[in-house]
Amino acid sequence: MFEGLRLRHWRHSVADSGIVHLVMDVADANANTFSRAVMRELGSLLERVQIDPPPGLLIASGKDTGFIAGADVSEFEQVAAEGRELETIRYGQKVFDDLAALPCPTLAAIDGFCMGGGTELALACDYRIATEDSRIGLPEVQLGIHPGWGGTVRLPALIGAPDAMDMMLTGRALRASVARQKGLIDKLASPEGLLAAGEKMLLARPKPRKAPPQLRALNLWPARQALAKVIRDKTRAKANPKHYPAPFAIIELWRKYGGNPRAMMRAEARSMVKMARTDTARNLTRVFFLREAMREIAPIEVAPIEHVHVIGAGVMGGDIAAWCALRGLKVTLQDREEKFVEPALVRARQLFEKKLKKPERVADAEARLNMDIEGAGVAEADVVLEAIFENLEAKQALFADVEPRMKDGAVVATNTSSIPLQQLAESLKEPSRLIGLHYFNPVAKMPLLEIVAHPDLDPAVEQRCRAHARGIDKLAVTVTSTPGFLVNRILMPYMLEAVTMVSEGVPGKLIDKAAKDFGMPMGPIELVDQVGLDVAASVAEVLSDNLGLTIPEGLEDMVSSGKRGRKDGEGFYTYPEGKPVKPEVPEGYTAPADMTDRLIMPFLNMAVTCLREEVVDSPEMLDAGIIFGTGFAPFRGGPWQYIQDTGADVLKQKLEALQSRYGDRFAPDPGWDTIA
Q: Is 268 a catalytic residue?
A: no
Q: Is 101 a catalytic residue?
A: no
Read off the amino acid at residue 412.
V
Q: Cβ contacts of residue 411 below 8 Å, gap of 6+?
A: 305, 382, 383, 384, 433, 435, 461, 464, 465
Q: Report the b/e string of 358-397 with b at 16+ CB within 10 A.
A: eeeebeebbebbbbbeebebbebbbbbbbbbebeeeebbe
Q: How far is CA 319 from CA 314, 504, 514, 532, 598, in A?
A: 8, 36, 31, 16, 34
- CA-closest candidate to residue 203, choices 122, 106, 318, 102: 106
How many Cβ atoms from other residues are within 10 Å of residue 94's Cβ? 16
Q: Is 140 a catalytic residue?
A: yes
Rounded to the nearest 5°, which phi and psi values hold at 59?
-110, 125
* Catalytic residue from among 56, 116, 118, 140: 140
* Catalytic residue from among 60, 69, 71, 410: 71
* Catalytic residue from among 120, 268, 497, 526: 120
Q: Cβ contacts of residue 214 below 8 Å, gap of 6+?
A: none
Mark out the alpha helices in 387-486 (DSSP H runs).
392-402, 421-424, 459-471
Q: How far is CA 159 from CA 106, 123, 154, 211, in A?
A: 18, 11, 9, 5
Contact at 8 Å (CB) between 563 and 533?
yes
Q: How far is CA 140 from CA 66, 71, 82, 170, 249, in A?
A: 18, 10, 22, 9, 12
Q: What are the residues facing 593 on neighbouring strands?
A: none
Q: Is 657 a catalytic residue?
A: no
* Catalytic residue from among 56, 116, 117, 150: 117
Catalytic residue numbers read: 71, 117, 120, 140
